[in-house]
Structure 1
Amino acid sequence: MSRETAEASCMRLALEDVLKAREARARLQQQWLGQYGQTMVSVTLVWPGEIKDTPLARRVMAEANEAINQSLLKHRWPVTRHETDFLCTGPEARWSISSPAWMIKHVMAHLEDNHPLGRLWDIDVFCPTSGLLKRSAIHQPMRRCFICHEPAHVCSRMRRHSQNELAQVIEDLTYDYFSGQH
């Protein structure tokens, strides 16, 4: 077990904590876009519930980091800076990359859709001039709910699935993935 995984806080959070973390992340994203003037990739986890920093969440983020780094290397896209933070509000990672945002968005959407853990990753790609690139900008469909396959944002907004139901799906998905590794 890595040091990062061993030190997970496992703290219960209030909605206010999550909202403050979202605001801080947005400020940091703007800072990076201004400082580097390059495409930025920002990753968080789709991790329902009031405990966001767990050993399992950290393992899932480590897999996201590995998959994204491998994709960037494969495409020979130069990374100016990469950071991962393990916060009580959940792990976050970001990259500043000297390549066109739309190309990177295609590859990141492919990772979200095709990696066995990709459904648990929320990978945002920002263009230094036009901001957040949505899937529709690259003619990709919206993400689907991993329980009922309806548009994910609708299920999330309507709280269509219980925390227990979501937790069970995540537990099954991660168990299948990590038990299959050697």
Structure 2
Amino acid sequence: MIKILEDREKRYEEILSLIKQSRGTVLCAKINYPGTNKNTKHSQKAFCILRKEIYNEFKKSIIKEKILNGYDGESMLLIIDLPEEEVKKRSIFLELNHPLGRIFDIDVYDKNGEPLSRKQFGFSERQCIVCNRSARECIINKSHSIDEVIEIINNAVEEYGEGYEK
């Protein structure tokens, strides 16, 4: 678990570095995958799908890309030549409307290194992939076992992800 936290810290330092060196909007995309193994075949397949969807959404505006790999799984950092509000709204739309959107974790950062929140744009918190209640509440209350959540995610990835092998 310590290595996962260290990876998250390194990723955030990289985000801050990109913010300092660019005039574009910084986006970080990864997969929300529970447990300590973030590098399963399902999480990697889901990341390939996420990466393709991000490219489709922003392909004309991507200035720079960096892919990170580590104990926290794969992530992509992009500098996008669009206003941060537009990038966030389009990211929220992808998270809400894609069949795997609930496991997509797309963060957009302001010039101070703070992530923009869904609430800023009038959207509710993320919903639990198991029961549709607040994901935050379910995590805090430990409403579902990690195995149950992983099984639902893996099944969704298998169902949607044919042909997305790494």
Instruction: Give the TM-score normalised by the residue count of structure 1.
Output: 0.84
Residue identity matched to 2:23:
G
Contact persistence 2:28–2:107 (CA under 8 A): yes
Q: Secondary structure at the match of 1:40?
A: strand
Mapped pair 1:71 → 2:57: yes
Which residue pairs with 2:145 in the alignment?
A: 162
Residue identity matched to 1:178:
G
Contact persistence 1:58–1:86 (CA under 8 A): no
Task: List alignment gaps of at least 5 residues for structure 1.
Answer: 1-14
Which residue pairs with 2:102 in the alignment?
A: 119
RMSD: 1.7
Shift of 1:129: 4.6
Structure-2 change in CA distance of 1:69 and 1:179 (3 Å): closer
Which residue pairs with 1:36 in the alignment?
A: 22
Shift of 1:86: 2.4
Shift of 1:67: 0.3
Which residue pairs with 2:82 in the alignment?
A: 99
Shift of 1:62: 1.0
Identity %: 24
Tell me, in whole angstroms, the C-alpha distance in 2 between the residues paired with 1:180 and 1:89: 24
Tell me, in whole angstroms, the C-alpha distance in 2 between the residues paired with 1:169 and 1:159: 16
Shift of 1:157: 2.3
Question: Of residues 126, 129, 135 in structure 2, which corresponds to 1:152?
Answer: 135
Task: List alignment gaps of at least 5 residues for structure 2.
Answer: none
Tell me, in whole angstroms, the C-alpha distance in 1 between the residues paired with 2:163 and 2:15: 35
Aligned length in residues: 164
Contact persistence 1:112–1:118 (CA under 8 A): yes
Which residue pairs with 2:10 in the alignment?
A: 24
Q: Secondary structure at the match of 1:133?
A: coil
Residue identity matched to 1:84:
I
Structure-2 change in CA distance of 1:134 and 1:29 (3 Å): same
Tell me, in whole angstroms, the C-alpha distance in 2 between the residues paired with 1:173 and 1:108: 20
> How big is each residue's C-alpha offset from its partner over 1:143-164, in whole Å with a ceiling of 9 and x where there is no partner?
1001111111121222221011
Instruction: Give the TM-score normalised by the residue count of structure 2.
Output: 0.91
Higher relative CO (Cα under 8 Å, sequence separation at least 6) belongs to 2
